[in-house]
Structure 1
Amino acid sequence: MKNIFQTETTDELIERINKLTPDSPALWGKMNVAQMLAHCCVSYEMVYDNIHKAPNGFLKLIIKWFVKESVVNDKPYKKNGQTAPAFIITTTKDFEKEKARLIAYIEKTRDLGESFFDQKESLSFGRLTVTQWNNMFYKHLDHHLSQFGV
């Protein structure tokens, strides 16, 4: 898996994002491209913006048992998989705004680096290793950029 904390990887991801247009069609799924960009921002909002509620103790335990491994491992996501409610974007989004937000989040993550994320608490999964953070961030972006053909 590529390393989201390395400049080469972030540059490649940003280059792929910059190939998107407001009219880029999805190869699968229900979101349009602006909604997808907003959807990808949610992972970063959960780290940086404190606008999402953490699941209650029981739900967090269930998520850790049944969901965590599939999110933080290095196996790619399947098409049309289930998503958590916080990630479901159905409203109209501004393509340029969401694109700029996502790029800024990717750059912030790269700039903060691995040491910032080492054993950092995830809103839903508890403490994660740098590898788990990387896998979660990178494979989610790669999945959705591939969804839009870039």
Structure 2
Amino acid sequence: MESVFDPEGNKNLIARIEKLTPITLSQWGKMTVSQMMEHCQQPIKVARGTLLLKPTLMSFLFGKMIKKKLMDPKPFARDLPTVKQFKIENEPDFENTKKELIELVSIFATEGHDAIKNTKHPFFGNMTMKEWDVLQWKHLDHHLKQFGV
């Protein structure tokens, strides 16, 4: 698996994001391309400490078990539930959202592990840098595949 921290892997993610256009259609799911790019920013903001989510009873009961499953090398399933704070109801501006996502993704390559400001995930608990890397990579990869890039 590639790494969001590795400059080459990071460059590959950004190249895929740059292929998106305002008319790129999803291969599954209900999000538009702009909503997907806004959605993909949310987990990065959690890692950066700029989006604060409160742990829930579900996270306490099932967080570690689900984290273990998500760390598996297999890609994310298409039908995974979305955290309500990550659901994008409006239609974001395509160009601004794309630019913001690229800027956020590039921080992983420029800052390395210092990009992660929040070592405790609100749902999964304490996270290593490797776990943050896997989670971010797989989430971005999942949604870029959803839009055919």
Partner of 1:11: 11
Moved more, 29-38 or 111-120: 111-120
Q: Structure 2 matches for 1:15-54, cutoff 5 A? A: 15-54=15-54
**1:47 and 1:123 in contact (8 A); partners too:** no
Instruction: Report whether the alignment pairs 1:108 with 2:107.
Output: yes
1:112-123 to structure 2, matched below 5 A, reads: 112-114=111-113, 117=116, 120-123=119-122
Mean Cα deviation higher: 133-142 or 41-50 = 41-50
Tell me: CA distance 1:118–1:46, structure 2 relative to 1, closer, same or farther (3 Å): closer
Aligned equivalents of 1:22 and 1:32: distance in 2? 9
Report SS of the residue matched to 1:60: helix
Identical aligned residues as a percent: 33
User: Matches of 1:116 and 1:24 in 2, distance apart?
Assistant: 29
Q: How many angstroms apart in 2 are the aligned matches of 1:118 and 1:69?
A: 21
* Contact 2:46–2:118 (8 Å) recurs in 1: no
**2:43, 2:136 within 8 Å by CA — same for their partners in 1?**
yes
Secondary structure at the counterpart of residue 5 of structure 2: coil
Q: Give me the TM-score of the superposition, normalised by structure 1.
A: 0.88
Q: Which runs of 4+ in 1 moved over 6 A?
A: none
Match of 2:75 in 1: 76
Contact 1:22 1:33 in 2 (8 A): yes
Aligned AA for 1:33? V
Q: Distance in 2 between matches of 1:68 and 1:18?
A: 29
Task: Decide which moves more: 10-19 or 83-92.
Answer: 83-92
Structure 2 gaps, min length 5? none
What's the CA shift string for 1:36-95, capped at 9, x where partnerless?
000100001112253332224x34312424422233332211113211111111211111
* Counterpart AA for 1:15: A
SS in 1 for 2:13: helix
Moved more, 119-128 or 38-47: 119-128
**CA drift at 1:27:** 0.5
> In terms of mean alpha carbon deviation, does 7-16 or 82-91 score higher?
82-91
Measured in 1, the distance between the counterparts of 2:144 and 2:127 equals 24
Change (3 A) 1:2 1:113: same
For 2:124 and 2:92, the matched residues in 1 are separated by 28
User: Aligned AA for 2:16?
Assistant: R
